[in-house]
Amino acid sequence: MCKLRLWLSMVADIEDEPQEVEPLPNIDFNIRLGDSLIGFESTEVAVDGQKLLIAERLKEDLEEYRDNVEAYKSAEEDISQLRGELDDLHDKLQTQLNEWFADLPDIKVEDEISKPEEIREIISSSNGDVKLKLKFVDPIDDDLDQELNDLGFRTWKKAANLKLGNRDAMAGKPEEIFEVIPADQLARSFVERGLLEEDIDQLDPFHWVMEFPDAYDAIGDDDRDDASNGFDIVLENPPYVRIESVDEPQRDIYKELHETATGRCDLYVPFIERSFELLSEKGRNSIITSNLFMRTEYGESVDHIGLEEVSAWT
């Protein structure tokens, strides 16, 4: 839709023969699609407790992708071949970045379960251990507390958690658990796990470091005068919807990744946070947004994202 509107705008500006308009230059790689709240916006992240330097690990491929995009934009021949090579390299980079993103320790997905077979299926499809979480209607009595502890659960007044893996599934632990749990006392039972490939496909992460490598000094032009990670200008018109309207697992991941995504916040609040994360050291940000967050409890979190100099117009 964005590409179409730009093209129609250019047609409208032509005074003579609209049919003579040429295809929009460079549009394929200047307009990108994805969930901009999910994905890598920095070249440095922590994965499995270790610092991951994306620019170093993928520097050669990212530089090749950047150079090929520039070649494609200026090419007059062999365009289809160049585009095919670009798509292949993009898919390769996307796959690697998605794998690293799925390994982020803070990213968890919840699956509701009601029987042992569902736990087994989740364990078998997961890359690592999962955590079974139980929520009870009433406080756990002493007898149930003892039985849960014997199974390895950590218990609270109305909740119990247990880490499970393939060895537990093979030993019949899911069946033992459901023999002990009084179904009429369960308010909720679910498994917390890491991201799977099908989750990533649904989430469609937008990796800024790949889509716009020139904005990052470790990947971009070494001659850039103000070399720093990020964009010099960010213009934003975020969505105005409650975060509750977002489907899982996106909603939970937004709350894990963005400290401003608290309570029943409006979705534009984490977008504000993201836009400032994307700025270079001397970058400028311009946002069309409601001022409602200034009068709400969830809006207090915006004060913690490093806004040192903000001007507002109403």
pLDDT tens-digit series, residues 176-215: 999 999 888 999 999 999 888 888 888 899 999 888 888 8
pTM for the full predicted model: 0.78
Residue-wise pLDDT for 112-149, tens only, equals: 999 999 999 999 888 778 999 999 999 999 999 999 99
Domain layout of the chain by residue ranges: 1-25, 26-103+203-304, 109-193
**E strands along 144-272, which residues?**
154-155, 159-164, 186-193, 231-236
Amino acid at position 237, single letter: N
* N- to C-terminal Cα separation, the chain: 29
Q: Could you tell me if 152 and 146 are in contact, meaning their C-beta atoms sit under 8 angstroms apart? A: no
5 vs 86 pLDDT, higher one: 86
Q: Sign of dihedral through CA atoms 60, 61, 62, 66?
A: positive
Q: Could you tell me if 152 and 188 are in contact, meaning their C-beta atoms sit under 8 angstroms apart? A: no
170 vs 74 pLDDT, higher one: 170
Half-sphere exposure of 17 (CA within 13 A, CB side): 3
C-alpha distance from residue 126 to each of 3, 36, 114, 123, 150 (Å):
39, 26, 18, 5, 25
Going by pLDDT thresholds of 50, 70 and 90, the confidence category of residue 226 is very low
Integer Cα distance of 158 and 3 in angstroms: 53
Residue-wise pLDDT for 66-103, tens only, equals: 888 888 888 777 788 888 888 999 999 999 999 888 88
Q: Which of 202, 204, 194 is nearest to 110 (CA)?
A: 194
pLDDT of residue 19: 61
pLDDT of residue 252: 85
Q: Is the pLDDT of residue 314 over 50?
A: no
Residue-wise pLDDT for 231-268, tens only, equals: 889 999 988 888 888 887 888 889 888 888 888 888 88
Task: Tell me if residue 196 falls in helix, strand or coil.
Answer: coil
Residues 6+ apart with CB under 8 A from 93: 58, 61, 62, 65, 207, 210
Q: Is the pLDDT of residue 154 over 90?
A: yes
Integer Cα distance of 110 and 117 in angstroms: 16
Residue-wise pLDDT for 12-62, tens only, equals: 766 666 565 555 556 777 788 899 999 988 877 666 556 667 767 888 888
Integer Cα distance of 68 and 223 in angstroms: 19
pLDDT of residue 80: 83
pLDDT of residue 300: 67
pLDDT of residue 165: 93
Going by pLDDT thresholds of 50, 70 and 90, the confidence category of residue 109 is confident
pLDDT of residue 206: 94
Is the domain 109-193 a CATH 3.30.70 member?
Answer: yes
